[in-house]
Amino acid sequence: MNCEQAREEMPGLVLGALDSDQRGLVLEHLRGCEACARELRSLLPLRDALNHPDPSPRLPNGFTERLVGRIGPAGHRPRRRASEVLVHASRALAAAAVLLIALLGVGLHRTSSELARQVAYDARMSALMSRSDVVPVDMRGYRRGARGRLYVSPDRREGVLMLGGLPGLPDGKTYQLWLVSREGAKSVGTFTPLPGGSARLYLRPPHGLDAYERIDITIEPDGGSPRPTGKWVLAGRLT
C-alpha cells in the first residue's frame, strides 16, 4: 500500500470501520511512514469531537453511589500477613539507617544530632518492628525502583517507614514526607537517604496515624516546602 492509498483509507480507520484485512494493510503502512502517521494524528481531534455528540450530558441520579457500590470490599488491596512482614522487616532493618535531616510542620519527632535521642528512636523502632501484630502498609512507587513500606503499630499511634531505591538528588532538591488529610498535606519533614538509597523513619503524630488518609513523599526544594509542589516519589494509603 502506498501513501495515497493509505490516506484514502484513513477516515475509515479513524471511524473504526475498515475490514480487518484492509485495516492491517493501512496500519502496516503507517508504522513505516512517519508522514502518514502524522497525517493520521491530525485526524484524531476529529474523533475526539465525535465523542461529544451530546452538548449537555447529565448523569442519572445516583450514578456515582451505584458505581462505588459495585466496587465493594474487593476493591481494597489485600494486606500481607504480619508473619511475612517481619522477615522482610528484619532484612530491611539490617540494611537501613535512620536519616532525619530536617523536620518541619506538625511537631512530630524532630531531627536531632543528640546521640541519646537517636538511640531512643532506634529503640522504639526496634520495639515496634519486633511485634508480631504490626500492620504493614505498602507504598506505591512513582519512580523506577522506589519502594516503601510503613509498619504501623496495632493502636495506630506510631509507625516505622522503610524506604529503598531512592536515588540521590541534585543540589537544591530534597525528599519531603507528608501526612495527608482532608485539611491538606502536613509536612513531616525532609530527609536524605543513605548513599545506597535506603532510609528508615519513625513517625508518631500527636493524634496518631488514623488522623490521616495517606502518606506521600515528594521531591521539593532544599529546606522543604509548606505544601507539596514537586513530583511524587511514593504514596501509601493509611486507611
Partner 1 sequence: MRSRINYAQYGDEDLARLLVLGETGALEEISARHAGASYGLALHMLRDPGWAEEVVQDVLLRLWRKPDMFDPARGDLHRWLLRITHNAAIDALRSRRGTSRALEIGAYELDTLPWDGQDPFEGAWEHSRAERVRRALAELPSEQREVVELAYYRGMSQSEIAALTGQPLSTVKTRTRLAFKKLRSALEDEL
* 178's grid cell: 507528608
CA–CA distances in Å: residue 124 to residues 79, 95, 147, 175: 23, 17, 23, 23
Q: Choose the stretch contacting partner 1; rule: CB under 8 A; options: 69-77, 91-99, 114-122, 158-166.
A: 69-77
From 3, 11, 131, 196, residue interacting with partner 1 (rule: CB under 8 A) = 11
d(CA 230, CA 221): 8
Distance (Å, whole) CA 44 – CA 37: 11
Q: Is 53 a binder of partner 1 (CB under 8 A)? A: yes
Q: What does the longest C-alpha to C-alpha distance in the chain come to?
A: 78
CB of 140 to partner 1, least distance (A): 5
Residues 169-208 that bind partner 1 (CB under 8 A): 180-184
Kindly state the number of chain residues that form the binding site for partner 1, as judged by CB under 8 A.
68
Q: What is the dihedral of CA 113, 119, 125, 129, to 10 degrees?
A: 140
Going 97 to 101 to 105 to 109, the CA torsion angle's sign is positive
Site string for partner 1, 119-148 (x = CB under 8 A): ---------------------x-x------
Binding site for partner 1 (CB under 8 A): 8-20, 23, 27, 30-31, 34, 37-38, 40-60, 63-64, 66-68, 70-71, 75-77, 140, 142, 180-184, 210-214, 232, 235-237, 239
